[in-house]
Amino acid sequence: MKTIAFAGSNSSKSINQKLIYYAASQIDSVEIIHLTNYNIPMYSMDIEEDKGIPEAVKKLDAKLATADYFIISVCEHNGNMSAFFKNIMDWLSRHNHKFMDNKKITLFSTSPGKGGGASALAAAQKMLPYFGAEIIATASLPSFYQNYSDDGFNTESQMLIKNTFTQ
């Protein structure tokens, strides 16, 4: 089973990317990708009609098609998933509506606050099945900076992340 892991953030200091690195280290043979490596414009019907689907969207779709399983961590902006992540999902669905068909997903979120990005997690849980995804496990890690240091995640957070894979 091929696994691809990524964060739905475009921040170079993404705490969700840090979560992805740790989560991916808990299972074998994971390819971590960075969505920022795909230069995808803000979705617009005008762009789609005038120029078609951007090549970066097609390349990302081809990459995702190679996986059976995804580990995704979504960040929260103002009670929702980031516009960056939503935009990529919008483009992918315009190119191939069922781009996650028969893909299993473990979905994470984290934030600096006590909510742990739970609103973004819930939004992603609702959205991704429209594209064919099967969400098999979820976890929200609150208070990121109290649970993570330069040495990594504290024991309680490590257990939360590891236990998510056994749900």
> Taking the CA of residue 152 as centre, how many other CA atoms within 13 Å lie in the half-sphere pointing to its CB?
11
Mean pLDDT of 103-118: 96
As a dihedral over the C-alpha atoms of residue 48, residue 134, residue 113, residue 145, rounded to 10 degrees, the angle is -100
What does the pLDDT read at residue 166?
79
- Residue 41 CA to residue 2 CA, distance in Å, equals 28
3-state secondary structure of 20: helix
How big is the chain, counted in residues? Answer: 167
Residue from 74, 95, 97 nearest 86 by CA: 74
Tell me the mean pLDDT in the region 118-132: 97
pTM for the full predicted model: 0.95
- Secondary element (H or E) of residue 10: none
Residue 109, beta-bridge partner list = 74, 140
Condensed to tens digits (0 to 9), the pLDDT of residues 16-61 reads: 999 999 999 999 899 999 999 999 999 999 999 999 999 999 999 9
Answer yes or no: CATH 3.40.50.360 is held by domain 3-164: yes
pLDDT band at 104 (very low <50, low <70, confident <90, very high): very high
pLDDT, position 48: 96
Nearest to 64 by CA among 136, 5, 7, 1: 5
- Indicate the Cα dihedral angle 27, 31, 37, 43, nearest 10°: -70
Q: Where are the domains of the chain?
A: 3-164
Asked if pLDDT for residue 167 goes beyond 80, the answer is: no
Which pair of structure tokens corresponds to residue 77?
A: 């902006």
Average pLDDT, whole number, for the chain?
A: 96
